Structure 1
Amino acid sequence: MRGVLTGFAAIWMVTLVGYLIGRYELLGPSGPTVLARLVFFVAAPALLFTTLVRSSLAEVFTGALAAFVLSTVLAGAAYLAVMLLVHRRRRAGPRQRDPDAPDSDAAGRPDAGTLTIGTLAASYVNAGNLGIPVAAYVLGDVSFIAPVLLFQTLVAAPIGLAVLDVTSGGRRASPKALAVLPLRSPITLASAAGIAVAATGWRPSDEVLRPFDLVGSAAVPLALLALGISLRGSRPFTPGLDGRDRYTAVVLKVVGQPVLAYLIGRHALGLDGPALLAAVVTAALPTAQNIFVFASRYDRAVALARDAIVLSTLAACATLVLIAAWLG
């Protein structure tokens, strides 16, 4: 349990510093945007490259990873289904329509970018700055988190970023444009380069990777500082137009996804012991700060991403402890 508590303590201490920076306006009104762009274009790619270069590809395809991936897909699909059903019911009666609601059109249809951020908030876990200490202290093996990082950086993130890129452009992209969209993301390019180097079996020396380590080490604290700055005036429990989206994403993230991982791992894949614990714990990690970075970068559902991160992280403090006590 010490690893969970230590991980959360570090997250909240750095986030508190960011909040104080925002509270006293030390970086000005554009501070969160500048920090988010720095993370997206520079620090996060460097971190992902060094992480993947040092990963062991032989440990990627495991039962625990399969349970995690399936639970991620099902949690995201459940969020989309709930949101589309709710918005369809809103459009059914003229008294429920709200043309002035943010991130929707005049007919009340949900904005694709907002749906994408909400889907990621309901299924994209904090596998980096929280998943690594949890894997080390709760699972007893950091290698459990490596395939989760690989899946999210090479599959989930590129798909989400591609959708956000298309929907932010205001026009329909051609199939050719869609095919090359992942290549326009520095996160995807860095991940692809890291996996390519790892696949060769060559491991660059520490001297070669040191510049990437130095830049990449700034990714997590900068993302947390940007998140903390954005918390000024934030009231995640306050009812609002995105309250339904927010709570749906949080419940699916901290309850729905780990339950799905347990059912799939235990009853469909026959997992038990450390493998089952790894599948459920990784699925129960809260929403990643990366989602706030993505939302800020594309200016879509920033408040939804921020509040989902805050609420899911608070709730995960309890759910991770309960899961570790139950299956550990």
Structure 2
Amino acid sequence: MRGVLAGFAAIWVVTLVGYLVGRYELLGPSAPTVLARLVFFVAAPALLLTTLVRSSPGDVFTGALAAFVLSTVLVAGAYLAIMLLAHRKKDRPDAGTLTVGTLAASYVNAGNLGIPVAAYVLGDVSFIAPVLLFQTLLAAPIGLAVLDVTTGGRRPSPRALAMLPLRSPLTLASATGILIATTGWRPPEEVLRPFDLVASSAVPLALLALGMSLRGSRPFTAGEDGRDRYTAVALKVLGQPLIAYLIGRYALGLTGPALLAAVVTAALPTAQNVFVFASRYDRAVSLARDAIVLSTIAAAATLVLVAAWLG
């Protein structure tokens, strides 16, 4: 229990430092974007690669991943059902808005927050790699395809949608690490040392970037999408981890670290990518932004409770 609390304390303290750096613009107004890109394109891929090449496929594709994927699908369906029932037909959100809300309720922040949580709380970054693969290879292309069909925004071709995962360095690094691990060959430590050096910066930089991104948010401001926003956040931080627990514990028989990994990954807050998708197609931008901030704040408590309960 003490180790769990210490791990989360480190995460939130560094995140708070990032918020203060962003609040007072100590690194300039463009720093959050630059830092996030550095993590996304360099540090986090190095961390995933070095972790996965030292693991085995059995350590990656586990029951924890199955519980996470099933909880994601069920929560997405629950959000859609609630929205269709809660809104009268004449004021029902359009398909694009429903898609953004569904992603806000089920698409987790596996990068900026998932990697630090996996490192400090789960003790193994390999738990987060298959989550990243699932979201990048399946969830994101499906969501973008629906937005493409239902909105009048810029329409990428089917080929562009199919190539989307290949443009993600996190996905490429994860896939490369898993591929090397399946061969049974392990690169010499001298070869991995430069990657390890870069990888060591991934967690602190990701947390600083996360904290800096929270500056200027007003998630509690009343608006037309208030009900949709709170529904998405409740499903994200409460519904999804509960479903993952029920599936993992009673359907898959998971216990110990595997069950903890399933529930913790499901309890991660909404990913910032959802805001990117919403902005690109100009659908429910405020809903996406506020859901990200609210779920990130709420996850500070729910993740600790989950880890204390199952850890």
Q: TM-score, normalised by structure 2?
A: 0.79
Measure, in 1, the Cα distance between the counterparts of 2:108 and 2:80: 10
| Cα 1:38/1:295, change in 2 over 3 Å | farther
Q: Distance in 1 between matches of 2:104 and 2:295?
A: 9
Structure 2 equivalent of residue 9 of structure 1: 9
- Residues 55 and 240 of structure 1, relative CA distance in 2, 3 Å threshold: farther
String of CA shifts for 1:130-159, please: whole Å, max 9, x gaps.
1333334xxxxx4xx63x423212212333
User: Percent identical across equivalent pairs?
Assistant: 55
Q: Which residue of 2 aligns with 1:102?
A: none
**Partner of 2:69 in structure 1?**
69
| Structure 1 letter corresponding to 2:129 | L
Q: Flag the 1:127–1:34 CA change in 2: closer, same or farther, 3 A.
A: closer
Specify whether residues 150 and 226 from structure 1 end up closer, same or farther in structure 2 by C-alpha distance, changes over 3 A only. closer
| 1:30 equivalent in alignment to 2:30 | yes
Among candidates 178, 188, 192, match of residue 205 of structure 1: 188
- For residue 36 of structure 1, give the secondary structure of its aligned residue in structure 2: helix
Match of 1:256, as an amino acid? G
CA distance 1:175–1:292, change in 2 (3 Å):
closer
From 269, 272, 276, the equivalent of 1:287 is: 269
Corresponding residue SS for 2:115: coil
Distance 1:179 1:284 in 2: 26
Aligned to 2:302: 315
CA contact (8 A) 1:49 1:190 kept: yes
Q: Using the alignment, how far apart are the partners of 2:47 and 2:278 within structure 1? A: 21
- Residue 154 of structure 1 aligns with which residue? 133
Q: Per the alignment, do residues 59 and 276 of structure 1 end up closer, same or farther by CA in structure 2, a change over 3 Å counting?
A: closer
Work out the CA distance in 2 between the residues paired with 1:20 and 1:80.
Answer: 37
Counterpart residue identity of residue 184, structure 1? R
Contact 2:229–2:291 at 8 Å: present in 1 too? Answer: yes
CA contact (8 A) 1:35 1:222 kept: yes
Aligned mates of 1:108, 1:6 — CA distance in 2: 44
Q: For residue 19 of structure 1, give the secondary structure of its aligned residue in structure 2.
A: helix
Alpha carbons of structure 1 residues 129 and 122: separation in structure 2 relative to 1, 3 Å? closer
What amino acid sits opposite 2:30 in the alignment?
S
Conserved in 1, the CA contact under 8 Å of 2:263 and 2:306?
no
Q: 1:122 to 1:211 in 2, by over 3 A?
A: closer
Deviation at 1:256, TM superposition (A): 1.6
Q: How does 1:1-328 map to 2 (within 5 A)?
A: 1-83=1-83, 85-86=85-86, 89=87, 92-93=89-90, 109-111=95-97, 114-115=100-101, 117-121=103-107, 126-136=113-123, 142=124, 146=126, 148-162=127-141, 170-269=153-252, 271=253, 273-274=255-256, 277-278=259-260, 281-283=263-265, 285-287=267-269, 291-292=271-272, 295=275, 299=279, 301-321=288-308, 323-324=309-310
Deviations 1:81-115 (A, max 9, x none): 434555xx26x34xx58xxxxxxxxx755447734
Is the contact between residue 123 and residue 253 of structure 1 (CA under 8 Å) also seen in structure 2? Answer: no
Structure 2: gaps of 5 or more residues: 280-284
SS in 1 for 2:215: coil
**C-alpha spacing 1:51/1:12, structure 2 compared with 1 (3 Å):** same
Structure 1 counterpart of 2:282: none
Deviations 1:238-291 (A, max 9, x none): 43445434432332233222322233234333x164377436543554327xx2
- Whole-angstrom CA distance in 1 between matches of 2:83 and 2:172: 32
Name the residue aligned to 1:103.
none
1:138-194 Cα shifts (integer Å, max 9, x gaps): xxxx4xx63x42321221233344357665893333333332221122222222211
Question: How many residue pairs align between the two structures?
Answer: 299
Structure 1 stretches of 5 or more lacking a match? 98-106, 137-141
- Alpha-carbon distance in structure 2 between the residues aligned to 1:268 and 1:7: 29
TM-score, normalising length: structure 1? 0.75
- Asked whether the equivalents of residues 245 and 263 of structure 2 are also in contact (C-alpha less than 8 Å), the reply is no
SS of alignment partner, residue 272 of structure 2: helix
Return the offset for 1:298: 7.7
Contact 2:110/2:132 (<8 A) preserved: no
When the two chains are superposed, the root-mean-square deviation of aligned CA atoms in Å is 3.3
1:235 Cα deviation after fit: 4.0
